[in-house]
């Protein structure tokens, strides 16, 4: 966030001739998912007061419709005009957001603040994309789906998108990412583009494992209002079912961020400050755990990735057994 903040200040100094002040603004009135996605700052630009919502840089870029809803909610809850400050914004999203009248700034590149400043000339080059050391959540989910659920080799990209519940645009990005990482190569089959994985099974797992990361983005302590949370077991709770290790005192469940937000907002569960007041631990995952696992527990490969940094030797021993039992 500090990097994006500095980029914003430097950019505004160039386009406006002065370096504005950014003061941290209260965000307690916001829903949890907006507090986690944006840092709110108060500032004066071009003689007007604004709230700048700086998007956390590890979030994947949202759709124009999603950003539009965010701006509406932010402005309604905070009571002042809000400008989204985004690390990056694809040109197709930028054009649509301009049409929808959504104010935004991409520091070092573009600004659209209706009736105040419009700078869409792309006078500054976009930062050169760095090759990722780890796969994106969408790419990781796609590879694990290929390993665990059903082969994706030779299937048109649009069908892969349907199977793994990502948009065709996202799967095109995944294709480019897997090509760059030399995990597969994209080839044309008739009129469709398909993936050709260079290895398979255990060999593919060993190849990609250094580029995979824990699916757990963050954890929360909660109290459930009903006995069955309709979420798959994860963490030590899942490992105890798959191996001989004992479970923790409180069960651990996995949910994607959207479902967790729905649970909080509908009152299915309430957040707790610590384990003492909680009845469960929630892992918020970067992809839907049910896509690879089932209603009962998460899949073994994601479970391994979520626990492989544990310093407990007993856990490490059971993780080795967990992988040895995977049917490749």
Kindly report, residue by residue over 140-163, the tens digit of the pLDDT.
Answer: 999 999 999 999 999 999 999 999
**Confidence category of residue 265, pLDDT binned at 50, 70, 90:** confident
Q: Which of 89-98, 129-138, 241-250, 316-325 is predicted with the least confidence, judged by mean pLDDT?
A: 129-138
Smallest CA-to-CA distance from 225 within 259, 188, 192, 270 is with 270
The pLDDT value recorded for residue 3 is: 83
Looking up tokens 């009248």 gives 101
Domain that holds residue 231: 216-324
HSE-up (13 A, CA, CB side) for residue 206: 8
Q: Is residue 129 part of a domain?
A: no
- State whether 292 and 253 are in the same domain: yes
For residues 231 and 314, state if they share a domain: yes
Q: What is the pLDDT of residue 214?
A: 97
HEC per residue, 232-297: CECHHHHHHHHCCCCCCCCCEEEEEHHHHHHHHHHCCEEEECCHHHCCEEEEEECCCHHHHCCCCE
- The answer to the question of residue 151 being in a domain is yes
The residue out of 60, 88, 119 marking a domain boundary is 119
Instruction: Give me the residues paired with residue 203 across strands.
Output: none
125: in domain? no
pLDDT at position 198 over 60: yes
**Is 132 part of a structural domain of the chain?**
no
Predicted local distance difference test score (pLDDT) of residue 21: 83
* Per-residue CA distances from 217 to 138, 233, 254, 267, 287 (Å): 14, 16, 11, 22, 10
The whole-number pLDDT of residue 166 equals 92
Q: How far separated are the first and last CA of the chain, in Å rounded?
A: 41
Asked which of 108-117, 148-157, 185-194 is least confident by mean pLDDT, the reply is 108-117
pLDDT at 123 over 60: no
Q: How confident is the model at residue 127 (pLDDT cuts 50, 70, 90)?
A: very low
Q: What pLDDT does 119 receive?
A: 55
pLDDT tier at 120, thresholds 50, 70, 90: low
If you write DSSP's letter for every residue of 64-80 in order, what string do you get? HHHHHHHHHHHHHHHSS
Identify whether the C-beta of residue 223 lies closer than 8 Å to the C-beta of residue 269: yes
128 confidence band (pLDDT: 50, 70, 90): very low
pLDDT class of 273 with cuts at 50, 70, 90: confident
Domain co-membership, 255 together with 297: yes
**From CA 110, how far away is CA 214, in angstroms rounded?**
34
Instruction: Specify the CATH number for the domain of residue 191.
Output: 1.10.10.10
Q: How many CA atoms lie within 13 A of 291 on its CB side?
A: 25
Query: Are residues 223 and 300 located together in one domain of the fold?
Result: yes
Instruction: Indicate whether 206 and 309 sit together in one domain.
Output: no
Instruction: Give the count of domains, the chain.
Output: 3
Pair 294, 318 in one domain: yes
Scan for tokens 């929808």, then name that residue. Answer: 100
Tell me, yes or no, whether 8 and 105 share the same domain: yes
Read off the pLDDT of residues 301-321 as tens digits, 9 standing for 90 and up: 999 999 999 999 999 999 999
pLDDT above 60: residue 87: yes
Candidate from 5-19, 164-178, 299-313 with smallest mean pLDDT: 5-19
Q: CA-to-CA distance for 290 and 282, rounded, in angstroms?
A: 14
Spatial distance between the Cα atoms of 54 and 284, rounded to a whole number of angstroms? 21
In this prediction, residues 213-230 reach a mean pLDDT of 88
Where residue 124 falls among pLDDT bands split at 50, 70, 90? very low
């Amino acid at each position: 966030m500090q990097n994006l903040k500095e980029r914003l200040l430097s950019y505004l100094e160039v386009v406006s001739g002065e370096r504005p002040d950014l003061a941290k603004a209260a965000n307690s009135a916001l829903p949890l998912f907006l507090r986690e996605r944006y840092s709110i700052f108060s500032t004066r630009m071009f003689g007007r007061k604004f709230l700048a919502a700086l998007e956390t840089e590890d979030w994947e870029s949202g759709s124009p419709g999603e950003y539009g809803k965010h701006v509406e909610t932010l402005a309604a809850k905070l009571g002042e005009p809000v400008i989204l400050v985004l690390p990056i914004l694809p040109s197709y999203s930028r054009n649509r957001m301009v049409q929808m009248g959504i104010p935004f700034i991409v520091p070092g590149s573009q600004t659209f603040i209706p009736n105040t400043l419009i700078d869409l000339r792309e006078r500054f080059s976009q930062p050169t994309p760095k090759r990722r050391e780890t796969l994106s959540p969408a790419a990781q989910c796609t590879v694990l789906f290929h390993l665990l659920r059903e082969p994706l080799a030779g299937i048109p990209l649009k069908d892969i998108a349907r199977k793994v519940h990502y948009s065709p645009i996202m799967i095109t990005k995944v294709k480019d990412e897997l090509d760059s990482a030399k995990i597969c190569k994209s080839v044309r089959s008739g009129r469709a583009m398909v993936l050709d994985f260079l290895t398979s099974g255990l060999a593919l797992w060993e190849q990609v494992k250094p580029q995979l990361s824990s699916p757990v983005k963050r954890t929360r302590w909660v109290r459930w209002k009903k006995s069955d949370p309709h979420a798959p077991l994860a963490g030590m709770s899942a490992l105890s079912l798959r191996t001989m290790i004992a479970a923790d005192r409180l069960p651990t469940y996995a949910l994607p961020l959207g479902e967790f937000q729905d649970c909080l907002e509908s009152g299915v569960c309430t957040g707790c400050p610590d384990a003492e007041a909680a009845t469960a631990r929630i892992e918020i995952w970067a992809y839907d755990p049910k896509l690879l696992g089932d209603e009962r527990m998460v899949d073994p490969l994601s479970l391994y990735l979520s626990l492989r940094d544990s310093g407990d030797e007993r856990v490490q021993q059971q993780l080795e057994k967990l992988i040895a039992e995977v049917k490749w």
